[in-house]
């Protein structure tokens, strides 16, 4: 059998090693691929037993903005907002008009509260978190939130909201790739708050993707890059 030249085999091994090193510590976009436990709370309809669509859904995405806004306005639980925005983002990939409509409504709601002189931290959070979810799931040409710094809006929401461990949990998901110091601060506050918040505690102990994957708490505690260019 003819053997490949050494440099060919070496190059193949080197490429394989680079590919392995490039694989992130978590599989898939964290704001999309991990479903949030919201108990019996209402959210957008979802028949899949996985994080993504099955292709058999009959949900009318033209109602996406209307339905999502009704849920967000009717329940102040941050984790319900996180899961609703995750589902909305997955649906939005199939309907660009609905994706833009929902973003416009959320941004307008946040800006209206600012204009009225009573900044609404949860409204600003919703707009910022959706922008971050869109950035992870929608292509650049399809993303109506391109240019919007969603993380900055989430940080503003936290400053308005004050002590909110569930929102800290959401911010920790956003910063899984850094900045490290900010991520660590969010994780510590989320872990502390989980001591008196059973729903948050369940989410921290849930598996990221599948029974063999890390728990969210373990994922949060992995090494995070020490530096990251500010967006």
What pLDDT score does 202 carry?
A: 98
What pLDDT score does 171 carry?
A: 98
What residues in the chain have per-residue pLDDT under 70? 1-27, 48-56, 223-231
Q: Kindly report, residue by residue over 121-140, the tens digit of the pLDDT.
A: 999 999 999 999 999 999 88
Q: Kindly report, residue by residue over 207-219, the tens digit of the pLDDT.
A: 988 787 899 999 9
Q: Kindly report, residue by residue over 39-59, the tens digit of the pLDDT.
A: 999 999 987 666 666 666 788
Angle, helix 78-92 to helix 198-205, in steps of 10 degrees = 50
What pLDDT score does 113 carry?
A: 87
Distance CA 190, CA 217 (A): 10
What pLDDT score does 225 carry?
A: 60
What single DSSP character describes residue 143?
-
Residue 37 burial (CB count, 10 A)? 15
Task: Give Cα 194 to chain centroid, integer Å.
Answer: 19
Distance CA 142, CA 95 (A): 10
Beta-carbon contacts of 145 under 8 Å, excluding residues fewer than 6 positions away, are 103, 130, 131, 134, 135, 138
**Tokens describing residue 85:** 């925005």
The three-state (H, E, C) secondary structure of 26-69, written as one string: CCCCHHHHCCCCCCCCCCCCCCCCCCCCCCCCCCCHHHHHHHHH
What single DSSP character describes residue 5?
P
**Quick check: helix, strand or coil at residue 207?**
strand
Segments making up each domain of the chain, as ranges = 6-220
Average pLDDT for the chain: 85
Residue written as tokens 């991520």? Answer: 183
pTM across the whole model: 0.84
What pLDDT score does 210 carry?
A: 76
Closest CA to 144 of 130, 163, 158: 130
């Amino acid at each position: 059998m003819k053997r490949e030249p050494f440099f060919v085999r070496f190059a193949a091994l080197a490429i394989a090693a680079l590919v392995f090193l490039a694989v992130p510590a978590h599989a898939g976009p964290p704001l999309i691929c991990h479903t949030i436990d919201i108990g019996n709370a209402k959210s957008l309809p979802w028949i899949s037993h996985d994080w993504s669509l099955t292709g058999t859904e009959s949900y009318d995405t033209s109602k996406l903005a209307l339905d999502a806004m009704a849920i967000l306005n009717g329940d102040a639980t941050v984790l319900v907002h996180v899961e609703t925005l995750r589902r909305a983002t997955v649906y939005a990939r199939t309907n660009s008009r609905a994706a833009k409509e929902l973003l416009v409504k959320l941004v307008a709601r946040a800006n209206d509260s600012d204009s009225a002189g009573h900044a609404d931290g949860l409204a600003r959070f919703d707009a910022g978190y959706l922008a971050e979810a869109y950035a992870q799931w929608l292509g650049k040409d399809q993303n109506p939130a391109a240019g919007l710094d969603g993380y900055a809006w989430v940080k503003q929401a936290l400053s308005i909201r004050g002590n909110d461990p569930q929102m800290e949990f959401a911010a920790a998901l956003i910063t899984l790739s850094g900045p490290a110091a900010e991520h660590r601060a969010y994780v510590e506050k989320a872990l502390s708050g989980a001591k008196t918040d059973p729903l948050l505690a369940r989410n921290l102990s849930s598996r990221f993707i599948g029974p063999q994957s890390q728990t969210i708490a373990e994922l949060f505690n992995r090494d995070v890059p020490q530096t990251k260019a500010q967006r």
